[in-house]
Amino acid sequence: MKINIIGGGPAGMYFAILMKQADAAHDITIYERNGPDDTFGWGVVFSGKTLANLRDADAISHAEITREFEAWDNVDVVQGHDKISIHGNSFSGIARIRLLKILRARCERLGIRIHFRSEVGDIDALKRESDLLIGADGVNSSVRQRYADHFQPNLSARPNKYIWYGTNQLFHGLTLTFRENDAGVFAAHSYKFNQTTSTFIIECDPETWSRGGFAEMSDGDTRECLEQVFAEDLHGHELLSNNSKWINFALVKNAHWQFENVVLLGDALHTAHFSIGSGTKLAMEDAIALKQCFDRASSVSAALAQFEEVRKPVIEDYQAAAYESMLWFENGRAYMRITPIELAYALMTRSGRVDRETLIRRDPAFIAAYERQPRASS
Ligand SMILES: Cc1cc2nc3c(=O)[nH]c(=O)nc-3n(C[C@H](O)[C@H](O)[C@H](O)COP(=O)(O)OP(=O)(O)OC[C@H]3O[C@@H](n4cnc5c(N)ncnc54)[C@H](O)[C@@H]3O)c2cc1C
């Protein structure tokens, strides 16, 4: 089968690996607009369950990915001088650039062609010469836009502003930190992803952002201001920028996922708020699901129809939980007057996927402490 893939991110490369591994006769080409060493972002995070899926799908890349991993089991919630740790959560982090390099090396060894610095302009022409065309071209997907009449995308920009930094301060666990200044409330989502660096995403509501004067601030002044907001947490370490800019989270959905021999994967197809887990996990699990449909189906159109049928409910469920989590952070200011342990409980249960029973299993000491505490709200 002649497979052309637009986008050399995790979704595109991982799908190529899985298909080529299943049948070396597939002729697979990836077109990537960036160079091999260009990347944005810092670390990506996977749950224990996702790692098991990656191991079952491709043991070789799984071994390389896990060799580089930083693993932890705690979520830390920090507010004022208090830090509440909740254990029993299994997560790991790796630098996005390392992940992409591992996947690229695996593609090359399998004989998959990757054309870097290759922007696909004429999508129709590529579609005509493909048995299967994959739109793995990220959140601003041109493939989705080209066939928008068929995919019927639903795109919305959320009100909160966020900015993706790194730092050499190491956060040993998924750390959610809340700080206030005259402008309002800022939340940081941070975790270490190698032995020297952590991801540090800062989020605030639009009122805080306007009062903070960030619209007129240079990149350097923005970092300096946010370093002051999180001075107690950064311990003198700088915020590291990788062309970091304030953005609004873009929620992407598509009514239809496939059109003739074209299918979308990863961020092109759907996004889920970063507070619930990374888009990288969903992108790679999409690739696994689509490859499994090709194992079972006898034609491209049957495989794509099956992919939409099997994977869409999973993604809708995930997006629903991510939506609740996103709303929680959009209304974060409302939670600043409860006690730290109440805040921690509210955070752990925000998506509706984790309840008291789950927390009793994961960390009975946390629930015991929570239930012993007098409530600010009672
Ligand atoms: C600013 C920012 C920072 C982020 N940082 C992190 C992070 O630190 N950790 C994390 O887990 N997630 C991060 N994410 C989210 C994460 O990148 C995605 O959820 C994940 O990478 C989805 O994988 P994907 O393969 O679907 O898309 P992507 O990784 O976005 O890959 C799509 C690829 O397609 C290429 N492309 C697009 N159009 C064309 C074209 N016409 N021709 C050729 N190539 C094209 C792009 O260059 C890109 O490499 C970040 C997102 C943003 C916007």
What is the distance in A from the centroid of ligand 1 to the CA of 109? 23
Q: What is the DSSP letter of 77?
A: E
**Alpha-carbon dihedral sign for residues 297, 302, 303, 308:** negative
**Of the listed ranges 125-129, 237-241, 282-286, 318-322, the one predicted with least confidence:** 318-322
Would you say residue 107 has pLDDT above 60? yes
Q: Share the mean pLDDT of the chain.
A: 94
* 41 CA distance to ligand 1 middle (Å): 9
For CA atoms 299, 301, 306, 311, the dihedral sign is positive
Question: Ligand 1 — pocket residues by CB below 6 A?
Answer: 6-12, 31-34, 40-44, 96, 119-120, 136-138, 142, 164, 199, 266-268, 278-280, 283
Closest residue by Cα to residue 68 from 95, 108, 39 = 95
Evaluate whether 176 touches 77 at the Cβ level (below 8 Å): yes
pLDDT at residue 377 is higher than 80 = no
- The two three-digit tokens of residue 364, written as one number: 């009975």
- Tell which one of 15, 40, 116, 137 to mutate to probe ligand 1, the residue whose CB is within 8 A of the most ligand atoms: 137
Distance CA 311, CA 166 (A): 33
Helix (H) or strand (E) holding 160: strand 153-167
Pairing of strands 2-6, 132-135: parallel
Q: Which residues are CB-contacts of 122 (< 8 A; sequence separation ≥ 6)?
A: none
Q: Are 132 and 125 in contact (CB under 8 A)?
A: no
Q: What is the DSSP string of 58-88?
A: -HHHHHHHHHT-EEE--EEEEETTEEEEE--
Residue nearest atom 39 in ligand 1 by C-alpha distance: 137
- From the CA of 319, how far away is ligand 1's center (Å)? 18
Token pair in block for residue 288? 């696994």
231: tokens are 């001075």
Residue nearest to atom 51 of ligand 1 (CA): 41
Per-residue model confidence (pLDDT) at position 37: 83
Residue 206 pLDDT > 60:
yes
pLDDT at 368 over 70: yes
Q: Whose CA is nearest to atom 38 of ligand 1?
A: 137
The rounded Å distance from CA 266 to ligand 1 centre is: 9
pLDDT digit string (tens) for 264-308?
999 999 999 988 877 999 999 999 999 999 999 999 999 999 999
Least confident of 66-75, 178-187, 310-319: 66-75
Q: What number is the average pLDDT over the span 326-337?
A: 89
Distances (CA, A) of 324 to 19, 41, 208, 273, 351: 35, 24, 21, 9, 5
Least confident of 99-103, 251-255, 369-373: 369-373
| CB contact at 8 A, 92 and 51 | yes
Candidate from 17, 40, 115, 200 with most ligand 1 atoms within 8 A of CB, to mutate: 40
Residue whose tokens read 């941070």:
190
pTM for this one? 0.94
pLDDT given at position 320: 93
Mean pLDDT computed over 235-240: 97
Distance 139 CA to ligand 1 centre (A): 7
pLDDT value at residue 69: 87
Q: Check residue 375 and give its pLDDT.
A: 61
> Which pLDDT belongs to residue 67?
92
Q: Rounded mean pLDDT of 142-167?
A: 97
Q: Which DSSP helix (H) or strand (E) runs through 248?
A: strand 247-254
pLDDT beyond 70 at 378: no
Q: Is residue 376 pLDDT above 60, yes or no? A: no
> How far apart (Å, rounded) are the C-alpha atoms in residues 139 and 158?
14
pLDDT on residue 91: 87
**CA 35 vs CA 17, 97, 108, 138: distances in Å:** 19, 12, 15, 16
Q: Ligand 1 centre and the CA of 370: distance in Å?
A: 39
Ligand 1 atom index nearest CA of 42 = 8
C-alpha distances (whole Å) from 138 to each of 177, 210, 316, 348 are: 29, 29, 18, 29
